[in-house]
Structure 1
Amino acid sequence: MALSVRARWAVLLIILMIGAFGAWQLTKLPIDAVPDITNNQVQINTVDPGLSPIEIEKRVTFPIETALSGIPGLETTRSLSRNGFSQVSAIFSESTDLYFARQQVSERITQARDSLPEGTQPQIGPVTTGLGEVYMYAIDYANPNGKGAKVADGQPGWQSDGSFLTPEGDRLTDEVSRAAYLRTVQTWIISPQLRTVKGVAGVDSIGGFEKQYIVEPDPVKLSAYGVSFSELAEALEAANISVGANFLNRGAKLT
């Protein structure tokens, strides 16, 4: 006590230094109005529009839950079965590394795929929870319906006839095609770039029209050519397979 009185200026300086350090640390302290208290979990989502809730439970949800049994650190599983949709939540202990848990779940799902209905593809949810920050945005044309747009026929943009010319050279003449183009931009241009941003767990696209190619065969003409529906389906599938390049070995001529 006597030392504090004799060196009161030194004590005051130390207190000021400690206070300044505390104020500086306070500016770096992350403050969240709604702290994320969600437990350590991995979600598996599966979509099959052709199955009822009971069939989803029996043929999708239950096999996935069974396949997850025995994973190190797994405490419990919760599931939700709706019309055409299954969600299984695997709850792990707080000491389990999340990425280790996701790897184990992915391996178990791969093993369980043979017991699931054909065509179903279970997907592991992103590394986030329901309390994570969500950023919503909308995509639209700079000049909707061409109002106020600078028209240059033949150049990408709005044309004098009211259509929209894309940079790829496609002419969009109606609202459906223009909405489909916005969805294409979201899927192939904006979404891949957003996924590279640090901290983004996933990008979900809602709305618009996905571009589809529909084949409507004429049964009479198919019968005239002797082609069945299954053969047509196989031909369409074979014509849309994307494969890598290959090479051809030719033996050298020996002399």
Structure 2
Amino acid sequence: MVQALIKFALRNRFIVLLLAGGLFAWGIYAVKQNPVDAIPDLSENQVIVFTEWMGRSPQLIEDQITYPLVSNLQGIPNIKSVRGTSMFGMSFVYVIFEDDVDIYWARTRVLERLNYAQRLLPQGITPALGPDGTGVGHVFWYHLDAPKMDLGEQRALQDWYIKFALQTVPGVSEVASFGGFEKQYQIILDPVKLQFYNIPLMTVMNKVRANNNDVGGRKFEMSDMGYVIRGLGYIKSKEDVENIALGENNGVPVRIKDIGSVQMGGDLRLGIVDENGTGEIVGGIVVMRYGQSADKVIKAVKAKMKEVEKGLPEGVTFKTSYDRSDLIEAAIQTVTGKLKEEMIVVSIVVLIFLFHWRSAVSIIVQIPITLSISFILLNAFGLSSNLMSLTGIAIAIGVIVDNGIIMSENAYRRLSEWQNSDHPENI
């Protein structure tokens, strides 16, 4: 079989060269399409189900949320395991699938089962799927440099402008905000006044909720013109909250401002983020989508940030907190540099020992062709170009060259034996 293959290659050199050129071109295309990252993604093929029920103890979360979800998610096909974690006010369920399962098929099946399992949860509790990223998906962190803005304004700018713009970048799964204060209206009630006006606390909550709403009406026609009637009731200022009516006392309306005060404040925080001890900062974490190229995603995010920066208030700029592209470029440069050094050293060694440039070229040409074919296989198996895979390729160069040297030496030996035989006319 091997002899027949060698004879075919020797007698059809043009076909062999054409095939090698096609594989090399395909390999170059595969190099450009292959995802690039610094570290291999060894995380499990998982879907995260997150449920929030603030103010409840871990035991209550475990009994009423985590256990019903875990028990109902067990029947999904191709599952390896289901893990649940309960903490104060939050529940996390990790559904681990087989490695060969498509992540988006898995997310769809989990979502289908959640629609059924939600009826077992307390009223008003809705579980949500986590981002379609992996454990190594945090590829870029940034924060705002805004010395003239307070932390609440910075967080509002991050949540309502920057975050939405960066989420449109291809390959970005989520932009998670951190730091600052999330603005909210805070009503500080006086218990004595509540008791005096005989207004329960639940009444205050229901009235505030009901008064923060727009309502629709019917169409009103007058003078051949049609008018759509609607009631505008969304809260736009602190005064709107203060003037919400809760009831009446001797024919006089009782409002929020009569039983307490209203202020703008920040939501409860469990931690802060600062920059090297110089003060608090506000920023975001860019989470890469599953299977994307980290290098391309980071470059696209940086390009988008330059566009977004034009619309920021005066004096506000971006600062990079963590950029994996530096590690990626350093790793790629290190490995590619070693590859070039190996190819040069191998070429010199082959030329010195064989002292025949045609034989040396035939051996050296194997290196780029084999490397290009390896990227075709990387794409076929869904592997990225990272420090581990490129190092493996670099180590394999020695095996590639050894094969060529052995074949050349064997050919030289056979030719020498043939020339020294009883065929002097062919010398």
Q: TM-score, normalised by structure 1?
A: 0.69
* Alignment partners' CA distance in 1, 2:75 and 2:10: 66
Aligned CA distance change for structure 1 residues 135 and 223 (closer, same or farther; 3 Å): same
2:46 is aligned to: 41
Match of residue 127, structure 1, among 93, 117, 132:
132
Gaps of 5+ in 2: 1-5, 222-427
Q: Which has the higher helix share?
A: 2
For residues 22 and 185 of structure 2, the distance between their equivalents in structure 1, rounded to whole angstroms, comes to 69
1:21 aligns with 2:25: yes
| Cα separation, 1, equivalents of 2:133 and 2:31 | 26
Cα distance, 1:240 vs. partner? 1.6
Q: Is the 8 A contact 1:46 1:123 kept in 2?
A: yes
**Cα deviations across residues 148-197 of structure 1 (Å, max 9, x unaligned)?**
xxxxxxxxxxxxxxxx6xxxxxxxxxxxxx10000001111011111111
1:61–1:88 contact (8 Å) kept in structure 2: yes
Aligned 1:46-61 pairs, distance under 5 A: 46-61=51-66
Alpha-carbon deviations, 1:46-100, whole Å to 9, x = none? Answer: 2334233322222211111122132233332112223333211112234544323
- Residue 190 of structure 1 aligns with which residue? 162
1:158-169 to structure 2, matched below 5 A, reads: none
Tell me the CA shift for residue 34 of structure 1.
2.1
The CA distance in 2 between the partners of 1:200 and 1:225, in whole Å, is 53
Q: Is the 8 A contact 1:45 1:87 kept in 2?
A: yes
| 1:7 to 1:204, Cα distance in 2 relative to 1, 3 A | closer
Alignment of 1:93-172 (within 5 A): 93-141=98-146, 144-145=147-148
1:25 Cα shift? 4.2
Higher strand share: 2
Q: Superposition RMSD on alpha carbons, in Å?
A: 3.2
- The answer for the alignment partner of 1:247 in structure 2 is 218
Q: Secondary structure at the match of 2:187?
A: coil
CA-CA distance at 1:26 after TM superposition: 6.3
Give the structure 2 partner of residue 169 of structure 1.
none
Q: 1:98 to 1:235 in 2, by over 3 A?
A: same
Q: Check the 8 A contact 2:61/2:89 in 1, yes or no.
A: yes
Does the 8 Å CA contact 1:44/1:122 hold for their aligned counterparts?
A: yes
- In the TM superposition, residue 22 of structure 1 has moved relative to its aligned partner by 6.6
Q: Matched residue of 1:104: which SS?
A: helix
Equivalent pairs counted in the alignment come to 215
Note if 1:208 corresponds to 2:180. yes
Q: Tell me if the contact between 1:56 and 1:82 (Cα under 8 Å) persists in the aligned partners.
A: yes
Query: Any conservation in 1 of the 2:86–2:92 contact (CA below 8 Å)?
Result: yes
AA aligned to 2:76 is I
Correspondence for 1:199: 171
* The structure with more radius of gyration: 2
5+ unaligned residues in a row in structure 1: which ranges?
Answer: 146-163, 165-177, 251-255
Q: Distance in 2 between matches of 1:112 and 1:6?
A: 68
Displacement, 1:203?
A: 1.3
Q: Aligned partners of 1:4, 1:63: CA distance in 2, in Å?
A: 65
The offset of 1:39, in angstroms, is: 3.5
2:211 maps to amino acid: A
How far, CA to CA, are the matches of 2:8 and 2:55 in structure 1? 83
- Find the counterpart in structure 1 of residue 343 from structure 2: none
Distance in 1, Cα, partners of 2:204 & 2:9: 95
Deviation of the 1:200 alpha carbon: 0.6
- Rounded to whole Å, the distance in 1 between the matches of 2:192 and 2:36 is 69
- Higher deviation after alignment, 86-95 or 26-35: 26-35
- Paired with 1:106 and 1:2, the residues of 2 have a C-alpha distance of 58
User: Which amino acid is the alignment partner of residue 83 of structure 1?
Assistant: F
Q: Aligned equivalents of 2:153 and 2:220: distance in 1?
A: 44
Q: Does the alignment pair 1:70 with 2:41?
A: no
CA, structure 1 residues 98+226, in 2 after alignment: closer, same or farther (shift >3 Å)? same
Q: TM-score, normalised by structure 2?
A: 0.44
How far 1:246 sits from its partner (Å)?
Answer: 4.1
Provide the C-alpha distance between the structure 1 equivalents of 2:69 and 2:8, rounded to a whole number of angstroms.
71
Instruction: For residue 205 of structure 1, give the secondary structure of its aligned residue in structure 2.
Output: strand
- Structure 1 pair 249–108 and aligned structure 2 pair: CA distance change class (3 A): farther
Percent identity between the two aligned chains: 37
Distance in 2, matches of 1:91 and 1:7, equals 52
